[in-house]
Amino acid sequence: MENLIKLHGYLFWYLLLIPTLTIAIPVDTITPTQPLTENQTLVSAGDLFELGFFRPDNSGKLYVGIWYKRISVKTIVWVANRDKPVRNSSGILEIGEDGNIQLVDTTGNPMWSSSNQSTARNTVAQLLDSGNFVLRQENDENPGNYLWQSFDYPTDTLLPGMKLGWDAKTGRNRYVSSWKSSTDPSEGDYTFKLDINGSSPEAYLRNRDKIIHRSGAWNGVRFSGAPGIGTEGFIASSFVKTKQEIYYTFEIQNRTLYSRLLVNHTGYLERSTWIEANRIWNVFWFGPRDQCDYYKECGTFAICDTNDSPVCECLVGFKPRNQQAWDLRDGSEGCFRYHELVCETDGFLTLEYMKLPETTTAAFVDAAMSLDECKEMCVRDCFCTAYTNSNISGGGSGCIIWTAELVDMRRFSAGSGQPFYVRVAASDADKNGDVATTGDGDSGKTKKIILGCGITLGIVLFLLFVFFQLKRRKSVRVNNRRTTEFRGERGGDHLMNAIAISNKRELSGETITTDEFELPVFDLSTIVMATDNFANANKLGQGGFGSVYKGILVGGEEIAVKRLSKNSGQGVEEFKNELRLIARLQHRNLVRLLGCCVDNEEKMLVYEYMENKSLDSILFNKHKSSLLDWKTRFNIICGIARGLLYLHQDSRFRIIHRDLKASNILLDKEMNPKISDFGMARIFGGDETEANNTIRVVGTYGYMSPEYAMDGLFSVKSDVFSFGVLVLEIVTGKHNRGFYKQNNEENLLGLAWRLWRERRGLELRDSTMISEAYSEWDDQVMRSIQVGLLCVQEKAEDRPNMATVMFMLSSEGALLPQPKQPGFCLGNNAAITNSSSSNHNHQTLSLNQLTVTALHGR
Ligand SMILES: *[C@@H]1O[C@H](CO)[C@@H](O)[C@H](O)[C@H]1NC(C)=O
């Protein structure tokens, strides 16, 4: 009896509870049998967040959102269906048949759904204490295994634990975007998003497409230009960059503190905490805060400083590009360098308390380097414009190097920002830490101006003196030595004057004079004897302007003889060119010229003999390519890079090879590479970097850069392109076809680009290298491919210079920029096949093996 009463009691309570259960007892989960209706909410287990329906302004529009449970002013942090409200109807949030969370109106119309693609069943959706709303398998052993999560789809608020940035798994670059207005949660005009392409990613605040504010690179503690977004007080911030993820995130030690990062609908970033006593969100940082926070307020090579008037100031050694606008307080056009750099003698200007210039283009990061190593790297690379530590914590470490214009800098007041070192002409460099550095107050500024004037005057007088001295010396030289100058091709001839010539020798009617170099001249008879009268058996190969023979001198020394074809009119120019050039080039990665031989019609060059012949004869030969293991290949890549770097900037002249290809790389006994064939190389003046050769386009299809093949423009960057092709060929063992193919087949560049983007880069590796235990070289292989792809980018300005290439190849763990699409990566290109290869339209399979000279039809 007692038992019966007890049972009745249970039953009574049970029946009483059932109808109110879902409302009265907080539940944090939606299950297939338990949807959420408009008058219900989910509450996270720790009572921190609440998810439910809301109608802003009591309008007819219904949204699903998440807000703080215990904050007395309803603060919405996430909206599910921000762009598709339920209108004039109620709604139900449920687990749909496909396992997704879905929002339907009362007639069953789907309004929104979580976008999980997997066909998992038995799913439930749960609101967590972090504010994350997650979809997961009901009985998943790993509760962190989410099929979908709201944290991947931020609205306007970044909560602790949310990630701003990219995730390889979802392929999404998560960003925050403002509401349209205080009562309209649909996506507004303002976004704050990480640009993940640079080597040191930065976040941009934009109004639609227009950049308003740039966060500056992450400096280990905070974004260098957005001091509020970093580690401070109770907020622990971090920035992560791996192959899988690139993101910014923050954590709060104390769960009961509410803190958020928001992009508000009037276009500001706000970082705030909730103060319950005052019932307000206390904004402790916002941005943009002042004039200098606006993107490119002072353009390039200028510093914005709100303590100065005007706020924009050119760096020392620079002048406003547009003085008139500058005087009218518009600094946006920035400044230009009027004290030119000389490379070897340049110095550095130290700037304190700086927001770092933009890093998303042409900047490189190596987290392992010290500041001294960083400086040394910058000194060695003539294109380096500035450097500094990439991480300011713990006294500073790591290295960022800029190799282009410095854009959007500002100076903070003492105590924030970081030191920054800009390359300037020697006259502008730091002297006792004075003059160059600015940043002091007004009185300091006046002093600086007076001091600056004095020094400028001194420099001007000194420069005038030097100028006249040089002029006198030069005219003396010209009078003494002006015996002959070669008529070089246009664009090149005045440069040839740079080579002083005396010591007369007869050469096809012209007088060659050599002065600073002494080149042995071989008798024709010696050569004939050495090569067994140019016996076919001794023939090593056939180049564009003649054949190459192996020879043995009487003393036993092996030589290679390049014999120019007699009737090749062009050959004479190239011969002289090569003679002039190579005789004064000394580098272990350039083939050594032993002498020349001139006899009536015969013109010959004598080189050191290379046991392993040319790279192409091994690399593209199925039976021999296994001789090249990865270490050898990488050594060859680095050797070619060193040789090319020497040509481009370390030798006395800037030399562009113009015909870099596998058959022009010779290998010695130890498989060390040496660049050969300077028949088409051009010398440039110190500051000239590009020339327009409208007459003849020479080079080899498959290795030619787009701008050279199409417009005849050649520069160090066209050599870089050819180098990139070579690197990809060396890694893959495949030959890059030119663009002359009529069909749409992918060439090597196209293949490399596609596999790279699909993250299958390692598949490019030559199959002969797969059998060995190669995984230890995976990083090096991938780095080489990335460097190769960076070198073959469509736009010359995007390609790195050789110094940077060396840096990228040699620094393990350095974060390299993401390559853009290569030039000529498809098999066909109508414009080219039409304009320059009308005479090659018939099948010319050997074309890309040979050097071709095409008349340019423009
Ligand atoms: C947006 O943020 C800025 C900076 O905190 C503030 O001045 C402005 O009032 C905010 N706008 C709204 C609508 O809250």
Q: Does the beta carbon of 266 sit less than 6 angstroms from any atom of ligand 1?
A: yes
Alpha carbon 227 to its chain centroid, in Å, reads 25
Quick one: tokens of 473? 């010396």
- Going by C-alpha positions, the residue among 74, 52, 72 that lies closest to residue 63 is 52
The answer to whether residue 810 scores a pLDDT higher than 70 is yes
Q: Is the pLDDT of residue 18 over 90?
A: no
Q: Is the pLDDT of residue 215 over 60?
A: yes
Enumerate residues 6+ apart whose C-beta is below 8 A from 708.
697, 699, 714, 718, 721
183, 207, 266: which to mutate for ligand 1, most atoms within 8 A of CB?
A: 266
How far apart, in Å, are the Cα atoms of 190 and each of 93, 155, 156, 187, 287?
29, 11, 9, 8, 13
The C-alpha atoms of residue 147 and residue 132 are separated, in whole angstroms, by: 13
Least confident of 461-470, 718-727, 776-785: 461-470
Residue where the block lists tokens 């100076």? 411
| Alpha helix segments (H runs only) across 66-172 | none
pLDDT for 690 = 57
Q: Which of 73, 75, 264 to mutate to test the pocket of ligand 1 (most atoms within 8 A of CB)?
A: 264
Backbone Cα Rg of the chain: 34
| pLDDT tens digits, 564-576 | 776 655 456 666 7
| Cα–Cα dist 99/92, whole Å | 15
- Nearest C-alpha neighbor of 748 from the set 702, 683, 804: 702
* Atom 2, ligand 1: residue with shortest CA distance: 268
Q: Are strands 302-304 and 409-411 parallel, antiparallel or unpaired?
A: parallel
Q: How far apart are CA 25 and CA 43, in angstroms?
A: 9
Q: Is 281 in the pocket of ligand 1 (CB under 6 A)?
A: no
* Residues 758-773: tens digit of each pLDDT: 778 888 888 887 655 5
Residue among 666, 667, 663 nearest 620 (CA): 663
Residue 503 makes CB contacts below 8 A (sequence gap 6+) with 513, 514, 515, 518
Kindly indicate the confidence band of residue 667, based on its pLDDT and cuts at 50, 70 and 90: very high
Q: What class does CATH assign to 615-855?
A: mainly alpha
pLDDT of residue 392: 93
Most confident of 159-173, 446-460, 819-833: 159-173
Pair 349, 430: CB distance under 8 Å: yes
Q: Which two tokens stand for residue 488?
A: 């070089």
Q: What is the model's pLDDT at position 774?
A: 62
Q: For residue 350, what pLDDT is reported?
A: 95
Architecture of domain 478-608: 2-Layer Sandwich (3.30)
Q: What pLDDT was estimated at residue 125?
A: 94
Q: Whose CA is nearest to atom 9 of ligand 1?
A: 266
The better pLDDT of the pair 598, 501 is held by 598
Q: What is the pLDDT of residues 286-307, one digit of tens each?
A: 999 999 999 999 999 999 999 8
Quickly list DSSP for 556-592: S-EEEEEEE-TT-HHHHHHHHHHHHHHTT---TTBPP
Predicted confidence at residue 435, as pLDDT, reads 35
Residue nearest to atom 8 of ligand 1 (CA): 266
Query: In sequence order, which residues have a C-beta less than 8 Å from that of residue 567 and are 6 or more positions away?
Result: none
Query: Cα–Cα distance between 686 and 346 in angstroms, integer?
Result: 14
CB 216 within 8 A of CB 228: no
- 160 DSSP 8-state letter: T
**Torsional class of 402: left (φ above 0), alpha (ψ -120 to 50), beta (otherwise):** beta
Q: What are the catalytic residues?
A: 659
How much distance in Å is there from the Cα of 264 to the middle of ligand 1?
A: 6
- The secondary structure of residue 649, as a DSSP letter, is I
DSSP secondary structure, 334-393, as one string: -EEE-S---STT-EEEEEEEEEPPP-SSSEEEETT--HHHHHHHHHH-TT--EEE-SB-G
Residue 269 Cα: closest atom of ligand 1: 2
Cα(667)–Cα(612) distance, integer angstroms: 5
Which residue's alpha carbon is nearest to atom 3 within ligand 1? 268
pLDDT given for residue 455 in this prediction: 52
Q: Under CATH, which number does the domain 1-152 receive?
A: 2.90.10.10
228: pLDDT confidence band, cut at 50, 70 and 90?
confident
Mean pLDDT of 312-327: 91
Structure token digits, residue 688:
């000239």
Residue, of 458 and 183, whose pLDDT is higher:
183
What's the pLDDT tens digit per position in 352-399? 999 999 987 667 888 888 999 899 888 877 778 999 999 998 889 999
Span 47-56, average pLDDT: 95
Whether CATH 2.90.10 fits 154-289: yes
Q: What is the pLDDT of residues 843-858, one digit of tens each?
A: 222 233 333 333 333 3
Give the pLDDT confidence score for residue 494 in this predicted structure. Answer: 26
Could you tell me the pLDDT band of residue 680, with boundaries at 50, 70 and 90?
A: confident
How far is 39 from 41, CA to CA, in rounded Å?
Answer: 7
Cis amide linkage into residue 310, ω under 30° from 0: yes
pLDDT band (50, 70, 90) for residue 345: confident
pLDDT of 506 higher than 80: no
Mean pLDDT, rounded, of the chain: 79
Going from N- to C-terminal start, the domains of the chain cover: 1-152, 154-289, 339-445, 478-608, 615-855
Binding site membership of 76 for ligand 1 (Cβ less than 6 Å): no
Instruction: Give the model's confidence band at 60: pLDDT under 50 very low, under 70 low, under 90 confident, else very high.
Output: confident
Ligand 1 mutation target, pool 180, 268, 289, 293, most atoms within 8 A of CB: 268
For 410-433, the pLDDT digits (tens) are 999 887 899 999 999 998 998 744
Q: Which is the closest atom of ligand 1 to the Cα of 265?
A: 13
Rounded to an integer, the average pLDDT of 297-320 is: 92
Query: What DSSP string runs through 380-402?
Result: H-TT--EEE-SB-GGG-B-EEEE
Q: Please report, as a single letter, which amino acid is at residue 422.
A: V
Q: Which residue has the tokens 């002093």?
A: 447
CA–CA gap between residue 151 and residue 144 (Å, rounded): 13
In 79-146, alpha helices (H): none
Under the banding of pLDDT at 50, 70 and 90, the label for residue 470 is low
Res 77: pLDDT: 97
β-partners of residue 156 are none
- DSSP lists the bridge partners of residue 539 as 549
Nearest to 237 by CA among 161, 301, 312: 161
Calculate what percentage of the chain has a pLDDT beyond 90. Answer: 41
Fold match, 1-152 / 478-608: no
